Amino acid sequence: MHHLQRSTLTHPPPLLLCWKVPVGLAGDIKHCSSQSLILDRQHQPQPVSHPGDGKFIRGSCNGLLCLSEGFPYKTLTLLNPSTRSVSPSVPFEGSDECGNDFFCGFGYDILHDQYKLVMGCCASSRLTDSKVRSGAIVFTFGANPSWKTVDHPVFPYDFRGPRNEIFVSGTLNWLVCDPTSSTIDSELEWFVLTFDLETELFGRFCLPITRMHRDFCEMPPLQVHNNCLSVCYRTPYEPIICTLWIMKEHGDETSWIQLFAITSDVGIDRGSLVAPLYISEDHNLLALDTGQVLVYNLRQNQLVSRVRHRYDWVYLYRCLESLVSPSHYCGLN
């Protein structure tokens, strides 16, 4: 039976959902508001006209997108898709020591009022190579942009799947696994790799369910709901196909609570890989599924609508609507 726990968290303002479609459409960024998807139910994403065509999205934070060009990155640009304003590109001398096997994240250092990009190697096993012992790179935007290296985590970690970061409470967070815990993917131990943008230190903490078993499908995606880190466990062929947990106090492993569960008898296709994105004030859940966006009412335990999209592959970025000036954080006004 569907279960919804009471939450003391407030609901965020409407979001922009920005797609970056890499298959034959480099630089194709589209947007639509979450409210339009919930209320209109037929709304299709619209192109974002901006000088960042041909660039790739590397992260989203406080209404800004961080775009990169070249590999390894040659330039970085900040874009506000709400106002269509964009900063001048700044040079970035990234490292190619990790090859294509790297992760990155974009976030905001509240203490120093700075935006930062973090880049490191995806597999700790690569750190045994003398070429990558220089550490992870931290790039700071500003009038005098700078970069430096910081120590990689000393514990074993590995990425399996998407490498998108989640920014919450002044930290960047990625889902990783312990490669030494098992030789079978379905039995790997998963945890959160976190980076504090103020102290510029890596850390780790446990998920509410640390070890996957064969009923789980793929990796449990991280998201942020109401300013709290969340994780979704998906078991598409079981009676309960999706459960969402939130961490009420960031970094406190005892603060994980299960927010809701979705059962398989509500009209969602069997085998669906539901990824929750946003919960509105009237308890409508916006979730991404293969080839479509779902609207599901948590209180009524009912599938409200499906909004289909035509893309073969979609990267989805949550982006707050804001008036933040990209140029301001590049020291130009």
| Beta carbons of 165 and 174 less than 8 angstroms apart | yes
Q: What pLDDT shows up at residue 331?
A: 60
* Strands ordered across the beta sheet of 302-308: 275-279, 284-289, 292-297, 302-308
Confidence grade of residue 131 (pLDDT, cut at 50, 70, 90): very low
| Beta carbons of 121 and 150 less than 8 angstroms apart | no
Q: What pLDDT shows up at residue 90?
A: 85
Q: How far apart are CA 39 and CA 52, in angstroms?
A: 30
Query: What mean pLDDT value characterizes the chain?
Result: 77
Q: Which of 10-14, 49-53, 94-98, 142-146 has the lowest mean pLDDT?
A: 10-14
Predicted TM-score (pTM) of the model is 0.85
Q: What pLDDT shows up at residue 168?
A: 94
Confidence grade of residue 6 (pLDDT, cut at 50, 70, 90): very low
Higher pLDDT, 136 or 219: 136
Q: How far apart are CA 303 and CA 258, in angstroms?
A: 20
What is the residue range of 200's domain? 11-330
Higher pLDDT, 61 or 187: 61
Type of residue found at 141? F
* 5 within some domain: no
Higher pLDDT, 56 or 110: 110
Q: What pLDDT shows up at residue 57?
A: 83
Share of the chain above pLDDT 70, in %: 71
| Beta carbons of 250 and 230 less than 8 angstroms apart | no
* 111 within some domain: yes
* 3 within some domain: no
* 195 within some domain: yes
Mean local confidence (pLDDT), 301-308: 83
Considering only CA atoms, give the Rg of the chain: 19
* 2 within some domain: no
Q: In the predicted model, is pLDDT for residue 237 greater than 50? A: yes
pLDDT tens for 75-112 read: 889 988 888 888 888 887 666 666 667 888 999 999 99
pLDDT tens for 153-211 read: 777 788 876 677 899 999 999 998 887 776 565 567 889 999 999 999 999 999 998 66
- Which DSSP string corresponds to 156-205? --B--S----EEETTEEEEEEEETTS-SSGGGPEEEEEEEETTTTEEEEE
Confidence grade of residue 129 (pLDDT, cut at 50, 70, 90): very low
Total structural domains in the chain? Answer: 1
Q: Where are the alpha helices (DSSP H) in the chain?
A: 34-39
- The C-alpha torsion from 72 through 102 and 286 to 197, rounded to 10°, is -90
* 127 within some domain: yes
- Which DSSP string corresponds to 98-135? TTT-EEEEEEEETTTTEEEEEEEES-GGGGGSGGGTT-
What CATH number is attached to the domain comprising 39? 2.120.10
Q: How far apart are CA 130 and CA 69, in angstroms?
A: 27
* 6 within some domain: no
Q: How far apart are CA 35 and CA 44, in angstroms?
A: 12
Q: How far apart are CA 117 and CA 115, in angstroms?
A: 7
Higher pLDDT, 254 or 278: 254
* 51 within some domain: yes
Confidence grade of residue 322 (pLDDT, cut at 50, 70, 90): confident
Q: How far apart are CA 105 and CA 224, in angstroms?
A: 15
Residue 188: both structure tokens together:
């790997």
Place of tokens 């080839």: 291
